[in-house]
Amino acid sequence: MDLNETSEESTFRAEARAWLEANVPTSPLPSFDTEEGFALHRVWEKKLYEGRWSAVSWPVEYGGRNADYIKWLIFEEEYYRAGAPGRVNQNGIFLLGPTIMEVGTEEQKAKFLPSMASSEIVWGQAWSEPNAGSDLAGIRSKATRDGNEWILNGQKIWASRAVWADWCFGIFRTDPTADRHRGLTFILCPLDLPGITVRPIAQLDGDTGFAEIFFDDVRVPLANTLGEENKGWGVAMATAGFERGVSLRSPARFSEAVNRLIHLWRTYADPTDTALSDAVTDVWMQAEGYRLHTYQTVTGMLEGRAIGAEASLNKIFWSEMDVRIHEIALQILGPESERMEGPFERWVDGFLFSLSGPIYAGTNEIQRNIIADRVLQLPKGM
């Protein structure tokens, strides 16, 4: 055990810090869930890519730096420290990208990864359906073979970033006789094809961060299949494991939020209110605990241990922590917490967004079931 950085890690950190200090926009960009903000975030991603900072953990040939997980965490710490913009192509770079590297063909890697790293193509996720939410295996949207093409039909919902994204990655039923998680295929699809209708859904904060996607006889080449036909569930779960496990919410995000919370507490709170100072200390410990836990997980991965259902523990932990951080901030803000615009809007907006955490990427109740089944070995059953 050595929790000090190596000199190589420190050099990497210094390089990232210097680049970010020189390049991060001086004033915050509008939300990437607005048309203007989406375009500006795409420009920012291009700049990151040109500095080779958009996908540091990727191989050099696809635009990355071949950084190991520790360095990825260091980059994230510097990224949040610098107050850099949100990652509009997160679905691509952190979810789909690693999956393509794991199961994609060489042609798919060459075609999709560089344009993903540069955000020339921004990806939306198309998994859930009106009747397949927590019960994701209940997917009904189908893909039917016709020569060298799939014909896609059905409806997806809660497709993040789909309003302005260029492509989506979806799961479709390809074997109508197969049950549940069998007979599904993972398919990549441009969002500007004939037969596609994207209908934005306004979120709690009014922005359209997700959408419904309707597929009406949409034709895509069979070459857009990721992984094996009828094995899409396994491909999707590999993506979901990585999402919940490490990449979706890096610890730096919460360490940064708690640092801002402590600043808020010092500036506005009554220091003799011990219930409040205890609460602030408690979320500091949670963020620090999450950071330490992640470094431990990542060291294990580097030493060859697989991450499994622990990913579900992470997902519950960070999502509940995020809500708690924002609840405490609103408590400190008092009457200011009622305003959607003004000097503290980031906290109010952050509170609304935090409430989505326990729901998306598999609700926390589903995660608790997964932990009970796979870690605690409790019997299956609802």
Partner 1 sequence: MKFSFTDDQRLFAEGLRDLLSNECTPAHVREAWENHTGHIPQLWTRLSEMGVLSMLVSESAGGMGGTLIDAILLFQELGRAGVPGPVLEHMAVAAPALANTSWGPSLVDGSQIATLWVDNIPYVAHAQVANLVLRNEAVITGFSTSDAHGIDGGRQLFTISGGTETSASAEVFGLPASDVMALASAAYLIGASERMIEVAAEYARQREQFGKPIGSFQAVKHLMSDALLKVEFAKAPTYRAAWSASTGAATAARDISMAKALASEAAYRASRSTMQVHGGIGYTWEADLQLWMKKSWALMRAYGDATFHRRRVGASVLSK
Residues that are catalytic: 243
State which of positions 36-95 bind partner 1 (CB under 8 A).
70
Tokens 């979120």 belong to residue? 203
Candidate residues 45, 77, 310, 349; the one interacting with partner 1 per rule CB under 8 A: 310
Is the Cβ of residue 4 or residue 27 nearer to partner 1 in the bound state?
4
What CA–CA distances, in Å, run from 274 to 116, 259, 267, 269, 278? 48, 19, 16, 11, 6
What CA–CA distances, in Å, run from 115 to 34, 93, 366? 22, 10, 34
- The answer to whether residue 230 forms part of the interface with partner 1 (CB under 8 A) is no
* Residue span binding partner 1 (CB under 8 A) among the ranges 2-10, 124-132, 165-173, 323-331: 2-10
Distance of CA 272 to the CA centre of its chain: 39
Tokens 């996720």 belong to residue? 125
- The answer to whether residue 5 forms part of the interface with partner 1 (CB under 8 A) is yes
Residues in the chain: 382
* Residue span binding partner 1 (CB under 8 A) among the ranges 91-99, 136-144, 161-169, 369-377: 369-377
- The answer to whether residue 375 forms part of the interface with partner 1 (CB under 8 A) is yes
Compose the 240-279 pattern: x for residues touching partner 1 by CB under 8 A, - for all others: ----------------------x--xx-------x--xx-
What residues form DSSP beta bridges with 152? 143, 218
- The answer to whether residue 368 forms part of the interface with partner 1 (CB under 8 A) is yes
- The answer to whether residue 293 forms part of the interface with partner 1 (CB under 8 A) is yes
Candidate residues 19, 214, 284, 360; the one interacting with partner 1 per rule CB under 8 A: 284
User: Is residue 141 a contact partner of residue 168, using CB atoms and an 8 Å limit?
Assistant: no
Of 66, 57, 117, the C-alpha closest to 87 is 117
Find the shortest distance in angstroms from Cβ 264 to partner 1.
12
Other Cβ atoms within 10 Å of 65 Cβ, number: 20
User: Is residue 243 a contact partner of residue 125, using CB atoms and an 8 Å limit?
Assistant: no
User: Is residue 176 a contact partner of residue 142, using CB atoms and an 8 Å limit?
Assistant: yes
- The answer to whether residue 198 forms part of the interface with partner 1 (CB under 8 A) is no
Question: Site residues (CB under 8 A) for partner 1?
Answer: 1-6, 9, 70, 262, 265-266, 274, 277-278, 280-282, 284-286, 288-290, 292-293, 295-296, 298-300, 303, 310, 313, 316-317, 365, 367-369, 371-373, 375-382
